Structure 1
Amino acid sequence: MSEERTRDEAVENELKGVPEEMLDDTEATEELAADEERIAALEEELAEAKQQVLYARAETQNVRRRMEKDVADARAYAATGFARDILSVSDNLARALDAIPADMREDEKMKGLVAGIEATGREIETVFGQHGITRIAAMGMPLDPNQHQAMVEIPSDDAEPGTVIQEMQAGYMIKDRLLRPAMVGVARKP
């Protein structure tokens, strides 16, 4: 019994400093319920904030990946405009070589000029290769609208219809993208 009295006295001593309005059980219960509601609301806000942080991190990572891809593409394809312009120089060089008659190629005065033009053509092809610029195969291939541009249809008994039998202008790719389509003549039934 002395234990119970000691406990009761301890509770009474603690309650002596507590204002009387706080001793009312209904008010205390209401305040406790209000505190629990505030805690629940704060926990909900915290969960929502955590979710928003996760979404923001994911979005940031996606933006970073897109930027890395854009930078890689810019590096890989930066020379596209310049390469298109240089292709006409390469075409003119090839036309110049084709225009030289065989007898002039053997002429001692012209051998140096021909050798210089041929060396320049090889150098252009080497530079193209270093920058991922490759010539599109056309002759004897089936027409591929992704790489070839059909300019004329030519009646032919020797080739299957739709096969490239004439190349008017070489086509080129830069890495995996089309730089310029090959302009071709395509076989058709006579």
Structure 2
Amino acid sequence: MTEEDKTEATEDLRQETAAEAPEVADHDRVAQLEAQLEEAQNATLYARAEAQNLLRRAQKEAEDARAYAATSFARDILSVADNLSRALSAIPEDLRGDEKMKGLVAGLEATGRELDSVFARHGISKVSALGEALDPNRHQAMMEVPSADAAPGTIVQEIQSGYMIRDRLLRPALVGVARKAD
């Protein structure tokens, strides 16, 4: 006798007994209702857990959207910061002391400070590089520089500043890394 035949025979016997004894039928009906109730409770718990997870995900996405909404704009404005920094560093010392140039230099320096202040307000910070060990998550090595003074893998030159926006990398720092001197 197969398993299917056994199940069918058991069900037939149960129905015959239920017809002769109403308490068995009542018991079966109660058991069936209890099973349905348990199934409904499980479905409700699952739906509630799913709703909570959905709410948490939506809150996290909204927080991320607020925190990182300016990422694209910030990447674009970094070139302005780079150009301003290059302009300031290109002014020779003798022109900095010249009375005619003092206003221009002071204006450029004030603009640089204001740009740094705006970056700080929006969670944008420079990535430290010089003297640190190369971190591929924050630095991009552009060249190796022979050095007897620095340990191999140490950053000895910063070609372009890197930036973070909160805890995410906005742009890696382009750096030169020390290697053993020949």
Shared fold per TM-score greater than 0.5:
yes
Cross-structure match for 2:37: 46
Q: Does the C-alpha gap of structure 1 residues 48 and 111 become closer, same or farther in structure 2, counting only changes over 3 Å?
A: same
Cross-structure match for 1:99: 90
CA–CA separation in structure 1 for the residues paired with 2:68 and 2:179: 37
Q: TM-score, normalised by structure 2?
A: 0.86
**1:9-68, CA deviations, whole angstroms, 9 ceiling, x for partnerless residues?**
xxxxxxxxxxxxxxxxx8874444223322211211111001110111011111111111
1:180 to 168, 171, 177: 171
Cross-structure match for 1:84: 75
CA–CA separation in structure 1 for the residues paired with 2:56 and 2:18: 57
**1:119-155, CA deviations, whole angstroms, 9 ceiling, x for partnerless residues?**
0000000011111111111011111111110000011
**1:104-125, CA deviations, whole angstroms, 9 ceiling, x for partnerless residues?**
1111111111111110000000
CA–CA separation in structure 2 for the residues paired with 1:28 and 1:139: 90
Q: Which runs of 5+ in 1 are unaligned?
A: 1-25
Where do 4+ consecutive residues of structure 1 move more than 4 Å? Answer: none
Q: Letter of the 2:178 partner, please give it.
A: A
CA–CA separation in structure 2 for the residues paired with 1:143 and 1:47: 58
Cross-structure match for 1:129: 120
Q: Which runs of 5+ in 2 are unaligned?
A: 1-16
Deviation at 1:158, TM superposition (A): 1.2
1:71 aligns with 2:68: no
Q: CA RMSD in A?
A: 1.4
Sequence identity, in percent?
65
CA–CA separation in structure 1 for the residues paired with 2:120 and 2:77: 13
Q: Does the C-alpha gap of structure 1 residues 28 and 157 become closer, same or farther in structure 2, counting only changes over 3 Å?
A: closer
Q: How many pairs were matched up?
A: 165
Q: Which has the larger radius of gyration?
A: 1
Cross-structure match for 2:11: none
CA–CA separation in structure 1 for the residues paired with 2:91 and 2:18: 109
CA–CA separation in structure 1 for the residues paired with 2:161 and 2:140: 10
Q: Letter of the 2:166 partner, please give it.
A: K
Cross-structure match for 2:162: 171
CA–CA separation in structure 1 for the residues paired with 2:156 and 2:18: 97
CA–CA separation in structure 1 for the residues paired with 2:112 and 2:85: 7
Deviation at 1:103, TM superposition (A): 1.1
Q: Letter of the 1:109 partner, please give it.
A: K
Deviation at 1:73, TM superposition (A): 0.9
Give yes or no for contact 2:19–2:25 (8 Å, CA) kept in 1.
no
